[in-house]
Amino acid sequence: MDALPATAVQHEEAAHERRNWVRLTFDCNDRCVFCLDAHTHDGTNRDRDEIKAQILDGRRRGATRLILSGGEPTIHPNFVDFVRLGRRAGYRKIQTVTNGRMFAYPAFLRAALDAGLSEITFSIHGPNARIHDALVGTKGAFDEEVKGLQGALADGRPVVNIDVCVNRGNVKQLPELMATFTAMGVREFDLLHVIPFGRAYSEGREVLFYDLEAMRPYLLEAFAYARRPGVHVWLNRFPPQHLEGFEDLIQDPHKLIEEVRGRKEEYALLLEHDIPLDCRAPERCKHCYLEPLCDHLDEVRAALAGQRFEVLRIDAGAEHHAPVAYGGDPASRQHAAARLHRVLAERALAAGLSGHVPEDSFEDGFSGHVPEDSLDAWAGTADEAAAGMAEARDARRVELPDPRATDRGPGALAVMDHDTTSTSPSGHVPPAISSPVLDTTSPSGHVPPAISSPAPVTTGPAGHVPPAISSPAPVTTSLSGHVLPATRPGVTANPPPRRFRLPLLGAGASQPPARPRLDARALAAAARPRALWLVAPDLAAAEALAADYPEVPELELELADPAALIARLSHMSSTTGPEGQPSIAGKRLVRVVVADPAAAAALLDLPLDLEVVLLLSRAAEAWLLALEAAPPRLVLRQPARERLTESAELDLDLPAFFAALRPPVPVEAVPACIAGRPPRERPPVFDAAQLGPDGGLEIFRYARRFIDDGFHVKSLRCKTCSHEHVCKGMHINYVRAHGFAAMQPVP
Ligand code: SF4
Ligand code: SF4
């Protein structure tokens, strides 16, 4: 195994932990110029029962880490109750990601920790008040947050870490920030590259995005903290090609599942109705770390729509590996609903109708701007557009399922119902009442000098914060009858549950054109691929699968245990015709993929017209290097590994191996610069593991296959390589384990 930093193994375990991100608010007491979430902020808190249901549902589906997020989660008046609910529901870790200002109030901090909060991620964006306050648009925020952080460190119970949105305004001060907070005792840093969502793009695109190559010295100095004993540095959303030298810090690709989870409704619109994400634009996507995922998705959609593939891959274990589709962000649901209505209206207007879009055909409370360029992809007919407008007018609707109607764990819910709002152990109104400084940032993002300093904390003799602190908040009553503060004037602590409405889909020509939902069998019957690639435990399982695809003439097999196949082929080799073409399940067997060199040798010994693909690994190295001549039917292939640690343990040192390999064996999935020869391309393959149970692409399954097999990266140097336009580079986990160094441009 290559020497991986000790932290890499820990980080991998953490990245594979099943997390439940739960939004508490659509509001924040800061106004960060890079806020990704600003478009969702309407000054409300999320419905308490919805939150409870999501916390319990995630736990029921196996999540072990609960992450309370926002908006700003700590301004929800039931924050402490949600922590307590999470603990009683059995989460191993209860974390919050926060601007940390509420934790400046010692009583609030203590109440949250007593309730079971085990990790606090403080969002700090500068080494000092000048930079931080300017970036978060709130004077005094830094001092409050640092006070909260120091209080948490002094308490000693929670894991304390810092996340930083790295942008043009702070990248040069990043080393200073790391030094400042390391000196305070912080040992974990999550560095998040700025991305083009929310206010970061609508207001900050000119000032936040920076040239990563030019800023490399500052970034490397900050990344170097990862090599200090006991210090953990996580990199999130950084383009991998800029992390040469720190490839083990490249974000675990499985975290993309969480990103998809947070936008699942928007992706569903794309996959089911061809409505593009409203952020889809080249100028924008070039700043986005999700670009490979979105680009590849477009390719897969096109291949499926045009049925442009020669090989259909079926994995018998795919369902077992599919991500569990729990959780999500209600903001994505709102956004998708608004987007759908907007597109229907645009289609109608594009057809020359003069009618207006009824206000009530938009879901309540959302006013997201949809860039016009994202609507260019629409090519509906005039009839469709007219019908779309008519439908918008008629406003035929269905309601989305009420999340509160979902099955809830009675025990934990009962606990919650009794525990509501008593954030102060004594039953006093907690310090959450005292809303931190309200945003008075000027539109330009500057902090005006008149901004009042954060309210001083005046703790009473009993340790309670007197309600007179800060601006007096209107008091309201919770559902359980407890006294609740509103978080800020005009904001209801628990507004009525939101009701989300969508137009009735499938009810006429106005519907966005839904893709036909073909399951794998129907797809094979319609597309008539040349070959079926079956991934199965053994021959019996493969034959059972193959029987479902009678129209596909050829077969490729990748079996975990190929023993029965080899025995069958041995027997067959004495009985096949002169062409030596074996047949399995009534299909011509053309390719067998094996990981064991002994199995490859046995197959190559048989006089059969059959390609034998050996997956490259350390176990295969000795046998391959001993070959005097290339067996004519042998092909080598570099597999994509699911984990960084697997890659470090199993992969060959590819440059050294190919330098030593004498016979000119064809190679797949290894770039020309490493193999010393251009890779042999596979014919187009469509992977049925990306299809949902009812047919059609499903975003979680797509993302999983993208991570496992489609996520390839190249180095910055590749721009000058003669193979650049055809080369895919290497799978992300190979690069995370072995680095970019072997990628050297071919003249
Ligand atoms: S790459 Fe995808 S998620 Fe990122 S901005 Fe573009 S469309 Fe949006
Ligand atoms: S494009 Fe990059 S990875 Fe591909 S052959 Fe060239 S240098 Fe190697």
For residues 548, 550, 553, 557, the Cα torsion angle rounded to the nearest 10 degrees is 20
Residues sharing a CB contact under 8 Å with residue 387, sequence separation 6 or more, in sequence order:
508, 509, 510
Asked whether residue 114 is domain-assigned, the answer is: yes
Question: Of 269, 304, 339, which residue is a domain's last?
Answer: 304
Asked whether residue 389 is domain-assigned, the answer is: no
Q: How confident is the model at residue 516 (pLDDT cuts 50, 70, 90)?
A: low
Structural domain span for residue 646 = 520-738
C-alpha 109 – ligand 1 centre gap (Å)? 37
Asked whether residue 474 is domain-assigned, the answer is: no
C-alpha 244 – ligand 2 centre gap (Å)? 15
- Which has the higher per-residue pLDDT, 640 or 437? 640
Q: How confident is the model at residue 512 (pLDDT cuts 50, 70, 90)?
A: low
- What's the pLDDT tens digit per position in 648-706? 999 999 999 999 998 889 999 999 999 999 999 999 999 999 999 888 899 999 999 99
pLDDT (0 to 100) of residue 671: 97
Asked whether residue 666 is domain-assigned, the answer is: yes
**Beta-ladder partners of 123:** 163
Asked whether residue 408 is domain-assigned, the answer is: no
What CA–CA distance (Å, rounded) separates 96 from 503?
A: 35
Nearest Cα residue to atom 5 of ligand 1: 285
C-alpha 635 – ligand 2 centre gap (Å)? 21
Q: Which of 303, 704, 312, 689 is nearest to 525 (CA)?
A: 312
Asked whether residue 208 is domain-assigned, the answer is: yes
Q: How confident is the model at residue 10 (pLDDT cuts 50, 70, 90)?
A: confident
Nearest Cα residue to atom 8 of ligand 1: 279
What CA–CA distance (Å, rounded) separates 712 from 734?
A: 9
C-alpha 676 – ligand 2 centre gap (Å)? 11
Q: Which residues line ligand 2 (CB under 6 A)?
A: 671-673, 714, 718, 721, 723-724, 727, 729, 743-746
Kindly state the percentage of the chain with pLDDT values over 70: 76
Question: Of 304, 324, 346, which residue is a domain's last?
Answer: 304
- What's the pLDDT tens digit per position in 544-571? 999 999 999 999 999 999 999 999 999 8
C-alpha 673 – ligand 2 centre gap (Å)? 6
pLDDT (0 to 100) of residue 204: 86
Q: Which of 86, 115, 85 is nearest to 418 (CA)?
A: 85
- What's the pLDDT tens digit per position in 428-487? 323 332 233 223 333 233 333 332 333 333 333 333 333 332 333 332 322 222 323 333
Q: Which residues line ligand 1 (CB under 6 A)?
A: 196, 277, 279-280, 284-285, 288, 290-291, 294
Distances (CA, A) of 70 to 27, 36, 57: 7, 11, 18
Please report which ligand is nearest the Cα atom of 679: 2
Asked whether residue 312 is domain-assigned, the answer is: no
C-alpha 420 – ligand 1 centre gap (Å)? 39
Nearest Cα residue to atom 7 of ligand 2: 745
Q: What does the angle CA 249 – CA 250 – CA 256 come to, to the nearest 5 degrees? A: 130
Mean pLDDT of the chain: 80
- What's the pLDDT tens digit per position in 162-204? 999 999 999 999 999 999 999 999 999 999 999 998 889 988 8
Burial annotation 178-195 (CB, 10 A radius, 16+ → b, else e): bebbbeeebbbbbbbbbb
Number of domains the chain is built from: 2
pLDDT (0 to 100) of residue 347: 77
pLDDT (0 to 100) of residue 47: 93
Nearest Cα residue to atom 2 of ligand 1: 294
Pocket test for ligand 1, best of 277, 283, 373, 376 (most atoms within 8 A of CB): 277
Nearest Cα residue to atom 1 of ligand 1: 291
CATH code for position 13: 3.20.20.70
What CA–CA distance (Å, rounded) separates 572 from 575?
A: 5
What CA–CA distance (Å, rounded) separates 516 from 179?
A: 56
C-alpha 293 – ligand 1 centre gap (Å)? 8
Q: How many CA atoms lie within 13 A of 616 on its CB side?
A: 24
Nearest Cα residue to atom 2 of ligand 2: 718
- What's the pLDDT tens digit per position in 565-592? 999 999 887 765 555 788 999 999 999 9
3-state secondary structure of 211: coil
- What's the pLDDT tens digit per position in 85-112? 999 999 999 999 999 999 999 999 999 9
Residue 514 has pLDDT above 70, yes or no: no
Q: How many CA atoms lie within 13 A of 523 on its CB side?
A: 32
pLDDT (0 to 100) of residue 376: 32
Pocket test for ligand 1, best of 202, 285, 373 (most atoms within 8 A of CB): 285
- Which has the higher per-residue pLDDT, 310 or 263? 310
Q: Which of 570, 546, 547 is nearest to 556 (CA)?
A: 546
Asked whether residue 217 is domain-assigned, the answer is: yes
Distances (CA, A) of 75 to 40, 171, 391, 451, 494: 16, 29, 40, 20, 12
Please report which ligand is nearest the Cα atom of 270: 1
What CA–CA distance (Å, rounded) separates 702 from 257?
A: 10
- CA-based diameter of the chain, in Å? 97
Q: What does the angle CA 203 – CA 204 – CA 208 come to, to the nearest 5 degrees? A: 180
C-alpha 262 – ligand 1 centre gap (Å)? 13
Q: Which of 74-78, 308-312, 515-519 has the lowest mean pLDDT?
A: 515-519
pLDDT (0 to 100) of residue 518: 83
What CA–CA distance (Å, rounded) separates 692 from 700?
A: 9
Question: Of 304, 337, 352, which residue is a domain's last?
Answer: 304
- What's the pLDDT tens digit per position in 344-383? 888 778 776 644 444 333 333 323 333 333 333 333 333 4
- Is the distance from CB of 108 to CB of 73 less than 8 angstroms? no
